[in-house]
Amino acid sequence: MNLNQVYIALKNTKLKLISLLNKEIRKNSLEEYVKIRLMKDAYPVGYERYLINDICKKYDFKYPSDIHVCVFNVYTIYSIFEAIELGKPMIERMVSFNGDGIENTIDVYLKIGTNLKELNEKINKFVNKEEGMYLIAGGPMTGESLQADLYAIGKTDSNFMFLNLKEKYQSEACMGCGRCNLFCPVSLTPILILDAYKRKDKDEIKKLNIERCVNCGICSYVCPSRLELTSTMKLAKKQIMKRGKYDQKR
Amino acid sequence: MIKKDRKFVIGKPPFIRRADSGIVNTKNIMYNFLLSLIPIIVFAWYINGLKPFLNNEIQTFKMIYPLAFVLCAALSSYLIEALYYLLVLKEEACFKKAWDNYAVIPGVLLSMILPLTCPIWVLLIGVIFAIVVVKMLFGGFSYNIFNPALLAYIFVMLAFYDVIMDNSMVDIEILSSATPLTELKALIKKDLSIREIVLNDGGLVKMFLYSQGRSIAESSPILCLISYLFLSFRKAIDYKVPLLYLLVIFIFSYSVAYFLNIDSPLIFSLFNLLNGGVIFASVFMITEPVTSPRNYIAKYIYIIFIAVFTLFLRFIGDLPDGVATAVLFMNMLAPSLDTLTAHLAVDNKKYKKIIYLIIMFCVISLFVAYTIMKLLGE
């Protein structure tokens, strides 16, 4: 299999990294095959679909392999390099601990399978506030919250966050401001999908083009009434995949 | 087994929200909205009550009437909604629920657009209609289709017109000037000149600053513009919406005046902008988020058509209140506009949006052309 082009997508504020990479590319004389593309420093720029839209200028595809494109994370490429060149399986990785619920926000190089609770007790201390704390596997916009820290760190976990809750709030009714549509990176209308989901209207959900959703979480982030739009989009996607049955057991 | 000593809270992503810190959440938006209405109410009370009182023209009771009007409407709308929650929906925490669903807003807005000669019992009937029929029967706060203040205003004007116009609660000498808009038809038939009408009213600058009109909403365009700046600075409304509405009204009335050879098209357009509560409606009624569409493309279509219908009803129909009817008509069409553009708005192809712009432009010019033809033919 031959590769035509390799693109490295970087944010345009990381100047030192850009110059380092340029030097390496020139040293190995790979300028025809490896090119650097600079992306703006805004939130959902790192998504697979958005990167292909912006760099390769292709919009009409269902999966990237349809147009012969593969998108990889930096850590995946590094692990592939370790496996092929050094013959080393993935037994350790870098994990970062963030948030205002712990004292030291550090990056740790640890073995896969480490117990999260024992690790935290050895290297960190909790900063507790009254309302409670979230333990999030992943980032603050797209991660999942865990119920307890009896967790073995797997090979895809790169980040853990301990966030203190500000206050307990309730969702209000939709105000109809339209911010979810204004800020959505793929121009969907999440509030109409929420209404169609509540009515169990599968045809309407399909017509509203829900397969373009990238699960970035911006719609819930900007909503003034604190509606749970992002999790509803995930549930609505599941609903139209299932044929006939509508089963949502809690 | 999960031990109880280290239990974390479960939530749904995203775990940071813009509404948690700062001014962009529903409560603060509605409170800013109410706050920006206060200068207009105080100024209208000064013009219609305090100033004539200090000149010894009217008595104390008539001085307090404008303020009492607004406060009575606010209090009664809150109580009526709480009573509805208690008696019909059998909800025990009725007062808290009525406050959380912003029950005060339709009452205050209704009292600001009704004429000040209206007696209190007519106002109460209007508030009951606005809260119970237009807001609660449709489902409550975010489910109403029509703007409660506007629909109750039309209901009250249709049912109690003679009682409102003929009342002596407020002294008729102060509010006796017929609204300049009723002279619009005579103007178009060239019996009068627009410059004379504006000069009779005190000049263009005075029309911009204040007018001792019939209702609180029409009393001062410049205070409405100051409220617009305040609200868009605090991100409670979208700043593009009133600008687009006023621009389309300006262009429509300018082209009508130009083709009908009225002596000054610029003064004619400004005249249409500053009268009839257009600026008040553009800042407080059209930007109302619940009754307008959710999609951004649908919002722009909504605004343009309200502007076209306002002037259409003013020039061809006999209504001085084109704004209220036009807004209510587009409120009715808002949900369908939403679903139509939601299916179409997802494409990345830019040429489709350009085609829609061209279609909109053609439709608007059709309306303008029809208006001009009909007025020329009379």
**Residue pLDDT, tens place only, A200-249:** 888 888 888 888 888 889 999 999 999 999 999 999 988 887 765 555 54
**Strand A6-11 vs strand A34-39: parallel, antiparallel, or unpaired?**
parallel
| Residue A145 to residue B3, Cβ atoms within 8 A | no
Q: Is A147 helix (H, G, I), strand (E, B) or coil?
A: coil
According to the model, what pLDDT value does residue B176 have? 40
Q: How many CB pairs under 8 A join A and B?
A: 142
* Contact flag B21-A166 (C-beta cutoff 8 Å): yes
What stretches of B101-220 show up as alpha helix (H) in DSSP? 104-113, 120-128, 148-159, 161-165, 184-188, 194-200, 204-209
pLDDT above 90: residue B147:
yes
Relative to beta strand A133-137, strand A144-145 is antiparallel
- DSSP-assigned letter for residue A233: H
C-alpha separations of B164 from A118, B159, B269 in Å = 78, 10, 30
User: Which of B99, B238, B286, B294 should one mutate to test binding to chain A, selecting the residue with the greatest count of A CBs within 10 A?
Assistant: B294
Shortest CB distance from B2 goes to which of A148, A212, A231? A148
Q: What's residue B175's pLDDT?
A: 44
> Among A52, A124, A189, A204, which would you mutate to test the B interface (most chain B Cβ atoms within 10 Å of its Cβ)?
A189
Give the tens place of pLDDT for each residue, B254-273: 888 888 777 778 888 888 88
Interchain contact, A225 vs B26, CB within 8 Å: yes
ipTM of the complex in this document: 0.84
**What secondary structure does DSSP assign to B286-329, as a single string?**
TT-TTTS-SSHHHHHHHHHHHHHHHHHHHHTSS-S-HHHHHHHH
**Tokens found for residue A46:** 């790192």
Are A179 and A169 in contact by the 8 Å Cβ rule? The answer is no
Q: Which pTM value belongs to this model?
A: 0.86
How far B42 CA sits from the closest chain A CA (Å)? Answer: 28
Cis peptide before B14 (omega within 30 of 0): yes
Q: Is the pLDDT of residue B325 over 60?
A: yes
Contact check, Cβ <8 Å, A189/B291: no
A143-202 pLDDT, tens digit each:
899 988 888 998 888 899 998 887 778 888 999 898 999 898 888 899 999 999 999 888
Q: What pLDDT is recorded for position B61?
A: 77
